[in-house]
Structure 1
Amino acid sequence: MPFIRLVVCSLALLTVAKLALAHDGPDPLARWRFDSESLVANSDESVSLRARRGPDGAVIGKHQIRGKKYDETLYLPGGQNAVVLAKNHNELKKYLPTEHMTVSMVVSIDQPQQWGGLVGVVQDDGEDESGWIVGYNDEVFTFALRGTEGTGRLTYLAGKTKYEQGKLYHVVATYDGKLMQLFVNGKLDAESKEQAGPIFYPTKSPFVLGGYVDSNEFNGHKGRMREIVLYDLAAKPNWVAHDFEHNANLTSLPAEEVQEPLSFVMKPYLQFGTQTTMTVMWRTNRPGAGTLFYGETDECPHKIKLVDAKEIHEIKIEGLEPETQYFYRTETKLKPGDEPLSSEVATFQTAVKRDTPFAFAVISDTQGNPKVSGTVGDFAWAQRPSFLLHAGDLVSTGKNESHWTEHFFPSMNPLMRHVPTFPVLGNHEQDAKFYYDYFSLPEPEYYYQFRFGNSDFFMIDTNRNVDPESEQYKWLEKALSESDATWKFVCHHHPPYSSDENDYGNLWKTNKSTRGDLDARQLVPLYEKYDVDIVWNGHIHSYERTWPIRDNKAVVDGAPVYMITGGGGGNLETPGPVRPFFMNTVRRGHHYVMVRINGTRLEFQAYDIENRLFDEMVISKKPADD
């Protein structure tokens, strides 16, 4: 019997011993050490990560090497910065575990985020969930995986150990075909038996270190990475504890705050311009004291200085002259005497007087497609609008900070640094705090009014109540009734009228459809009663212009026209198979529109992603004294 016990014990430890020797032997599928020796600058100025074993990677974006030799770590600053091993993981199949896996790493988290990623191949998009990823959320480390015989979805393990920002942790995730386990600093933190069978991989997803990346997400890791090792074996708890002992000296170190060089997170842009004021905003990666320089020449002789150190800077210039061109630039300092972070000189014009012609651009649903939103924004800027009207869904996920800092603001900055933007909330903003932080609007911000030239604009949030007893309805009726403007425009995200194929009833399966958002349609009586000229909407990712509509019938003139301008970047949608009574023009394609006003004449033109004109309209009113 003693001999039998010895044999059984030896067999039980075999897998452990094999893994324990894996640091020096051929057992790992891949191993990456994030130090200066492993990072190689290429002739094209790109940087590669050379693997100790397995595939090399491309370092995307900014990075720093931290620490002394033998203790070096790679610091990634978040955003769209990561190490991409392959844009399509199928290129690296031999380096990916199939039936069993262990991944071990030493990392720190400097910025919590809802969907943080450290290493993995994952797709998490609605019903399409597959692959695996080790990462973190706002408080703890996580491990997600889908097996071929599991629930048909990813199982997300969330640990119990709350991480301290800036502190190094030893994190291990294992899967043996039946059991998922997550270990933090050598101890079991979470486990699940929901998944079974070989790992179910997505058909096409990148293999990434230092990021949560799939077909529609790119959440770069902000923090340090020392080492990641990947095996096609499932480690036992005693091996994990042994591996932790080798890294305990690192995890016992105090948290380290990495001081990044001062830089722009969002370059200066304009907000809520009037005839005598303009607000300038920008965001830096570290709190600093901001100064705004402005004037009627590019020397910008006047300045406004903020004493308090902030990341989000907001400065309002007052006492300006109407319809006048000004120049401005910004400086930010961490402390007095430092070299400032300076912006380039840009221009703006204050709002025009009542009788002066002007023009503005309308764009909507820029969400998650900076290439398209940047293109239509640049085309709009080339036409020199006085401002931008945005009908909502600025980003894909309002609570995801990177969607603001990496998608919307960088792509739209060439336009927004020259003209103010007046937005409304879409459903994708999720009423997130970022919207209120990044835009300077009159209280309560989710609805407001502004005057430009001879026109009044009424901005509404149709994600909230708009029924006749609601706060917004009552405010809007009062504001419309008091307006003496020549032109009255309303902007909200959801369209009262739409010919879309399936948002309001699947018109390829039934002829039943509400043909628009019924909640938003509760506002239509106000538009007809108070002579609103045009209502701009988004939500549907296409273009549509109605005939003038009164009493739910198309008329020739003298009634509101409804326009969907949802072609700023979102995935395109298609109209239903038949023409409803209200449709004048419909078009599938990315686009922007321009509106030009001269007294009682309005000219409207719509342009596609190639900047080609595809629709136009003219409205002429009789002068008020006729």
Structure 2
Amino acid sequence: MKHFILPIVGLITLLATTASAHEGPDPLARWRFDSDAISQQGDQTKILPRRGPTGMLSGKFEMLGEKYDETLFLNGNQSAIVIAENHNDANKYLPTEALTVSAVVSISQPEQWGGLIGVIEDNGSQESGWLVGYDEKTFTFALRGKEGTGRLTYLKGKTAYEAGKLYHVVAVYDGETMQLYVNGQLEAESKEQSGPIQYPAKTPFMIGAYRDSDEFQSLKGRLREIVLYDLAAKKEWVDHDFEHNASLAALPAMESNDPLEFVIEPYLQFGTQSSMTVMWRTNRKALGTLYYGETAECPNRIDIPEGKEIHEITIEGLEPETQYFYRTESRLKPDADPLTSKPATFQTAVNRDTPFAFAVISDTQGNPAVSGKLAQFAWGQRPSFLLHPGDLVEVGPRDSHWTQHFFPSMNPLIRHVPFFPVLGNHEQNAQHFYDYVSLPTPEYFYQFRFGNAHFFMIDSNRNLDPDSEQYQWLEKHLSASDATWKFVCHHHPPYSSDENDYGNLWKTNKGTRGDQNARQLVPLYEKYHVDIVWNGHIHSYERTWPIRENRAVKENAPIYMITGGGGGPLETPGPIRPFFMNTVRHGHHYSMVRINDMKLEFQAYDLDNRLFDQMTISKQPAAAHE
């Protein structure tokens, strides 16, 4: 085991370049992220070290503060510092037997997997390397030793970081014990790992990013200093080091000085006959104002006096089935020039006896080119709202998947009509879902009325057995509903002919042909006369016959529809035709549902906006379940 103690001298003294000038060892590398470290050469920006390797800076950045307080701010949008694309090219700067990292940093955007410095691979049996990073609330330290558990151990701190505020973070590994300190305090410790550090075969050496073979999550926050040693520090050294950085940790939070911009342009949420919610996000905390009215001048206004990045304003007291205009303004200060959105329109929910239509698009995940095209086509048909059966994004905890994939691609539609989503498995119940939608509590399940239809929105990632919260809630409200049309939406399909999600039908004839958790709700659908159940999860299109008691019937029973072709990688049905299948199709698509009193028309369209399936349901007054 290698340990070192600096009894008097902290990291600031290590600015000296000769061993005789200080007590204690030299670091492998040290970066002080001030203006002197920035070297612009053509279109390349280099980070010059005080000691060790030069880094290549990509993406947007800015310098904040002055002199001793100066820091480098990375904006989180693919901005990062590459020390080596292949860590093997920088081996002499990487610790092996022991490690100490001392960092002074701030976090402005929480992430599930955030990185400050490290070399890491986090994929199954290949887990290896080390990383000092952060998650949605605290700082973290991950490492794998050659004689450890065969996987990474993650330490999680206790201090909940405040956005924009500097913290002193130290990670230590001595070959037997991992330790994580925040502002001088030991917050996590583990003896799961031992031996030299196990490095990946080939992974980048990064600062300001969590990056391995299939992930790249950039830091939005500040870097003040990072120092890397190949020795393990004792508690006394950490104490002295924090003493030299305590004044920085005591400074107030500081955020970017970038010009105010939209991260997410305005969009609509949970429209009713008398209200509509408008949401948007700015890159900095700002004062929000919503203008609205029945003309493009938008004579009415609502102000939010508190500065926020995610803005949410609900307009109350509107008239049913009425067209309104709206636009937003955001200001850093009350007298500052505003960031203004373009005027857009919306319509409040219609009266019970008025015809209406809505679009259905699911599994938009990770393919904005496709989902954006489908959104444009759907908007061309002027739906009243969008129903989304889940998997809005590929990885829910990654904010960039919301801000760079889902919202930009869907904006042509959702700036004019509200969208009503449910959670898919890819959302991973991430906080971003709850931050970016405005739905009735608890948001993971809810209901809404539109015209003569009643919609019940369920989270099929949770338990759905008869004793579960959602099952009992659903039975209560289904039994009380007097709607002409009853619809249910959840991500996982009770019936599916997919080739391998519910048993590999190319290798065996045994399979559940649908999600067994979700199928527990089927008796409720049959008992309370649900008309259609919309699902996603399977990236194809499928419509069943009406199904009652696990048999196909001609009418007056629930129809199950998988509309998972919104952008995700396409899937294929199995080799046989199950009893419930009416129509199945491989391809990206969207659907339109049109309702006029007791008549429902359904149509599905492909990526070229060509009709490929349709059906009509007509009810008689006695069958309307009024």
Shared fold by TM > 0.5?
A: yes
Aligned to 2:231: 235
Q: Supply the distance in 1 between the matched residues of 2:237 and 2:262 (Cα, whole angstroms).
A: 43
Aligned to 1:579: 577
Find 2:496's aligned residue among 485, 495, 498.
498
Aligned to 1:107: 104
Q: Supply the distance in 1 between the matched residues of 2:527 and 2:277 (Cα, whole angstroms).
A: 34
Aligned to 1:252: 247
Find 2:71's aligned residue among 73, 76, 91.
73
- Residue 279 of structure 2: SS of its match in structure 1? strand
Aligned to 1:604: 603
- Residue 557 of structure 2: SS of its match in structure 1? coil
- 5 Å matches for 1:174-253? 190=189, 192=191, 194-197=193-196, 199-201=198-200, 205-214=203-212, 217-229=215-227, 234-237=230-233, 249-253=244-248
Find 2:546's aligned residue among 545, 548, 554.
548
Find 1:512's aligned residue among 504, 510, 513.
510
- Structure 1 residue 258: Cα displacement: 0.6
C-alpha contact (below 8 Å) 2:447/2:455 kept by paired residues? yes
- Structure 1 residue 350: Cα displacement: 2.6
1:127 to 1:593, Cα distance in 2 relative to 1, 3 A: farther
Percent identity of equivalent pairs: 61
Indicate yes or no: 2:565 matched with 1:567. yes
- Structure 1 residue 427: Cα displacement: 4.0
Superposed CA offset, 1:129-163 (max 9, x none): 23321113466543222345542211224467887
Q: Which amino acid aligns with 2:454?
A: D
Q: Supply the distance in 1 between the matched residues of 2:39 and 2:271 (Cα, whole angstroms).
A: 48
1:498 to 1:179, Cα distance in 2 relative to 1, 3 A: same
Gaps of at least 5 residues in structure 1 are: 1-8, 14-19
- Residue 518 of structure 2: SS of its match in structure 1? helix
- Residue 498 of structure 2: SS of its match in structure 1? coil
Aligned to 1:320: 318
Q: Supply the distance in 1 between the matched residues of 2:256 and 2:288 (Cα, whole angstroms).
A: 18
Q: Supply the distance in 1 between the matched residues of 2:302 and 2:182 (Cα, whole angstroms).
A: 49
Q: Supply the distance in 2 between the matched residues of 1:40 and 1:598 (Cα, whole angstroms).
A: 66
Which is worse superposed, 484-493 or 474-483?
A: 474-483
- Structure 1 residue 309: Cα displacement: 4.8
Find 2:618's aligned residue among 616, 621, 626.
621
1:197 to 1:106, Cα distance in 2 relative to 1, 3 A: closer
Find 1:385's aligned residue among 383, 403, 422.
383
C-alpha contact (below 8 Å) 1:131/1:202 kept by paired residues? no
Superposed CA offset, 1:396-439 (max 9, x none): 55566665455543443333222101112334445555544433
- Structure 1 residue 216: Cα displacement: 5.6
Aligned to 2:593: 595
Q: Which amino acid aligns with 1:260?
A: S
Q: Which amino acid aligns with 2:446?
A: Y
Aligned to 1:120: 118
Q: Which amino acid aligns with 1:393?
A: D
Find 1:82's aligned residue among 67, 79, 82.
79
Q: Supply the distance in 2 between the matched residues of 1:375 and 1:122 (Cα, whole angstroms).
A: 36
C-alpha contact (below 8 Å) 2:271/2:277 kept by paired residues? yes
1:466 to 1:101, Cα distance in 2 relative to 1, 3 A: closer
Q: Which amino acid aligns with 1:564?
A: I
C-alpha contact (below 8 Å) 2:98/2:232 kept by paired residues? no
- Residue 152 of structure 1: SS of its match in structure 2? coil
Q: Supply the distance in 1 between the matched residues of 2:126 and 2:612 (Cα, whole angstroms).
A: 37
Aligned to 2:9: none
Q: Supply the distance in 1 between the matched residues of 2:371 and 2:84 (Cα, whole angstroms).
A: 23
Q: Supply the distance in 2 between the matched residues of 1:476 and 1:614 (Cα, whole angstroms).
A: 34
C-alpha contact (below 8 Å) 1:271/1:421 kept by paired residues? yes
Q: Which amino acid aligns with 1:380?
A: A
1:544 to 1:244, Cα distance in 2 relative to 1, 3 A: same
Q: Supply the distance in 2 between the matched residues of 1:169 and 1:444 (Cα, whole angstroms).
A: 34
Superposed CA offset, 1:24-60 (max 9, x none): 489977654422344456767x855456653542332
1:158 to 1:528, Cα distance in 2 relative to 1, 3 A: closer
Aligned to 1:3: none
Indicate yes or no: 2:526 matched with 1:528. yes
- Structure 1 residue 192: Cα displacement: 3.9
- 5 Å matches for 1:150-549? 150-158=148-156, 168-169=166-167, 171=169, 173=171, 190=189, 192=191, 194-197=193-196, 199-201=198-200, 205-214=203-212, 217-229=215-227, 234-237=230-233, 249-253=244-248, 254-261=250-257, 262-284=260-282, 288-354=286-352, 356-367=354-365, 373-395=371-393, 398=396, 404-405=402-403, 407-431=405-429, 434-468=432-466, 472-477=470-475, 479-481=477-479, 483=481, 485-549=483-547
Superposed CA offset, 1:457-511 (max 9, x none): 2222334454455554455445445555554322112211122344433445543
- Structure 1 residue 122: Cα displacement: 2.2
1:49 to 1:350, Cα distance in 2 relative to 1, 3 A: farther
- Residue 34 of structure 2: SS of its match in structure 1? coil
Superposed CA offset, 1:234-283 (max 9, x none): 22537x97799688544433223114345544332101223443221234
- Structure 1 residue 521: Cα displacement: 1.8
1:169 to 1:580, Cα distance in 2 relative to 1, 3 A: same
1:554 to 1:314, Cα distance in 2 relative to 1, 3 A: same
1:252 to 1:98, Cα distance in 2 relative to 1, 3 A: closer
Q: Which amino acid aligns with 1:60?
A: G
- Structure 1 residue 537: Cα displacement: 0.9
Q: Supply the distance in 1 between the matched residues of 2:160 and 2:622 (Cα, whole angstroms).
A: 71
C-alpha contact (below 8 Å) 2:113/2:135 kept by paired residues? yes
| Pairwise CA RMSD | 4.3
C-alpha contact (below 8 Å) 1:50/1:56 kept by paired residues? yes
